[in-house]
Amino acid sequence: MSSGRSAGALPVVAIVGATGAVGVELIRCLERRNFPLARLRLFASARSAGKTLPFRGEELPVEELREDSFSGVDIALFSAGSGISKRFAPLAAAEGAVVVDNSSAFRRDPAVPLVVPEINPQAVKAHKGIIANPNCSTIIAITPLWALHQRNPIRRMILATYQAASGGGAAAMEELSESTRAYLEGRPYEPQVLPHPYAFNLFSHNSAIDADSGYNEEELKALHETRKIYGDESIRVSATCVRVPVLRAHSIAVNVECERPVTPHEVRELMADAPGVRVVDDRARNYFPMPKDASGTDPILVGRIRADLSDPSGRSIALFVVGDQLLKGAALNAVQIAELL
């Protein structure tokens, strides 16, 4: 399904949730990557209507999102939460737009492609009007691993995530800044956005806990989304997701068990050639991926590549990955999907 625009015509692109942290990054990505478009339209809630945001030297007005907003729109980039997506994405698709949705609303729908362009770009062709953007920590964890999985299939994956405030949106980022300032000044600060004090603290990811398994939603996303994106339901995945006081880059400790023995040298060479990945693995200087180096940059940083000494079979590798949650974890991946379209 696609819009009715003539072949070769530039698309009209819309951003839903334009004033949020990811929405702002979507605008910047479109401009920085010189995305070809005829017009960019910005939508948000009624309270944001009338604001303006910069794009290619102009100030574009933010419009209130309405059910009739999508007439003439060819590509709609959604980043406004699953409730908004469930309500408005089908309306946009019915108007002929292709929706790239950054929420969890459609990720597990078998009829909706879940796409990381470096891994399964061909899945875009199967869309019926909506394409899902995967969860940020899933993207950052599995994009570097794809090169290894193609050469030596991964059978088991254990993840421990250290997730930044940006995953909770602009309000969570502001809460981290304000609570840190209050802590340093000796003032009390009552959390408004997150359930626990954030400054100089970390806590289990604040998504809902599944009562039966004990895993939270973020951890279960890693399992289900990895299987769907890799097209392999046999991969075993266990994740522990933690919120840490970092502004915008997620860090993930990864342990993978492959089908056959594998060496750190092999993994390092595969990662060096993997698209969207940069190896930062300087043992001599003890310099490895850090949020300060990943923040504001496109590549996912990979390092600490080493054999898992607890596996005498030689089939397991440990490594550490860091990626900008707002970019490759969200906005950049969505724009890359739009580029495929």
C-alpha pair distances (Å), 222 with each of 14, 52, 201, 291: 29, 36, 24, 20
| Encoded tokens for 183 | 């802590």
Catalytic residue among 136, 149, 205, 258: 136
Q: What's 290-314 look like in SS3?
A: CHHHHCCCCCEEEEEEEECCCCCCC
Q: Which helix (H) or strand (E) holds 228?
A: helix 217-230
Asked if 241 is an active-site residue, the reply is: no
- Among candidate residues 127, 149, 205, 250, the one labeled active-site is 250
CB 270 within 8 A of CB 147: yes
- C-alpha 108/C-alpha 79 separation (Å) is 17
Angle 140-144-149 (CA atoms, 0-180°, nearest 5)?
125
HSE (side-chain half, CA atoms, 13 Å) at 210: 10
Identify the burial level of 205 via C-beta atoms within 10 angstroms of its C-beta, where 0-12 means exposed, 13-18 middle and 19 or more buried. buried
Amino acid at 277: V
Burial letters 72-103, b for 16+ CB under 10 A, else e:
bbbbbbbbbbbebbeebbebbbebbbbbbbbb
Catalytic residues: 136, 250
